[in-house]
Amino acid sequence: METDVLIIGMGPAGLQAAIHAARKKVRVTVVGKESGSALVGTHIENYFGTPGVIGGEQLLSNGVKQAESFGAVMVRQNVSSLMKDGDGFKAVLESGDTVSCRAVILATGISRKKLGVPGEKEFLGKGVSYCASCDCNFYKGVPVMIVGNESEAAESAVLMTKYASEVYWSAEKADIDASLAAKVKDAGVRMLEGFPAEILAEDGKVSSAVMKDGRGVAVRGVFIELGGRSSADLAMDLDIMPEMDDTIKVDRNCKSELDGVYACGDVTGRPWQVAKAVGEGNIAGMAAAEKVKK
């Protein structure tokens, strides 16, 4: 697939960017899933033009319809990797399909979703990790568990088969493309139904994960990957180094240090508010559209 502006993230920042870029009469593709937005499950009552309370899902649904009405194309997959490709960029989707573009807007947010079980916080850095691609080298020859339902978990499980002695993928309900599911199966990943209820350790290091049915699984590492790759992760694919807090530094036009790459929303820093995300989406969408029109 080819497009002019690729927007990664289907939250308020990404959808607003899509609306403004599409209105500039350039080809716009939005890749992501509404379920990955921090708005899911929330209620908004302090956003301009929405008196009373509006559900986050309704706001996202309205945004998708608006963006589509101006010609933006929605692709409900996560991005596995992002790379420079000549004068433009290429994104590889979880299905293995690719999207080539002339400008990229990163709008997936930065938050690492927590599992919220005993042992997760206590053993962070001692066997608990939120980034398999960052820490894979520390788990050579030992069993590990990947926790999550989406593409980030699936990709991490496949990656870890190259390092770990055994890889378990703990999922409540895998939400991935069929081709990625086949890739996981072919890699020899062992599937576990449900998420762990507790992470245990011996001598200060992770030794096992206890599933909700009480069964213990002996592992030395637990990678919590609850979503798709974040904007900060994808930025590093392009050798853009995030700040210490995983934010991406941008100028007043939401442009990053790399020409043709823009970022908006939570990934540019606080405040983490819909109004700020939408405002930056407006700026990034128009700036990216003007870039490709030149």
**d(C-alpha 170, C-alpha 20), whole Å:** 40
Position 39, amino acid: L
Residue 255 and residue 214 share a domain: no
Helix (H) / strand (E) element for 290: namely helix 274-293
Print the domain residue range for 57.
5-111+230-293
pLDDT band at 29 (very low <50, low <70, confident <90, very high): very high
Residue 251 and residue 106 share a domain: yes
Q: Tell me the torsion sign for CA atoms 180, 184, 186, 187.
A: positive
- The tens digit of pLDDT for each residue in 244-257 reads 888 999 999 999 99
Mean pLDDT along residues 150-171: 94
Last residue of a domain, one of 224, 249, 271: 224
Residue 234 and residue 220 share a domain: no
Q: For 103, list phi and psi in degrees, rounded to 5.
A: -150, 150
CA-based nearest residue to 276, from 114, 62, 38, 64:
38
Residue 119: CA count within 13 A, CB half-sphere: 22
Answer whether residue 282 is part of any domain: yes
Residue 136 and residue 106 share a domain: no
Residue 235 and residue 99 share a domain: yes
CATH number for the domain harbouring residue 156: 3.50.50.60
Residue 141 and residue 174 share a domain: yes
Residue 165 and residue 138 share a domain: yes
Neighbours of 275 (CB within 10 A): 13
- The tens digit of pLDDT for each residue in 223-232 reads 998 876 788 8
The beta strand positions in 17-107, using DSSP E, are: 28-31, 43-44, 54-55, 73-75, 79-85, 88-93, 98-101, 103-106
Residue 242 and residue 218 share a domain: no
Residue 260 and residue 207 share a domain: no
Q: How many structural domains is the chain composed of?
A: 2
- What is the reported pLDDT for 112? 64
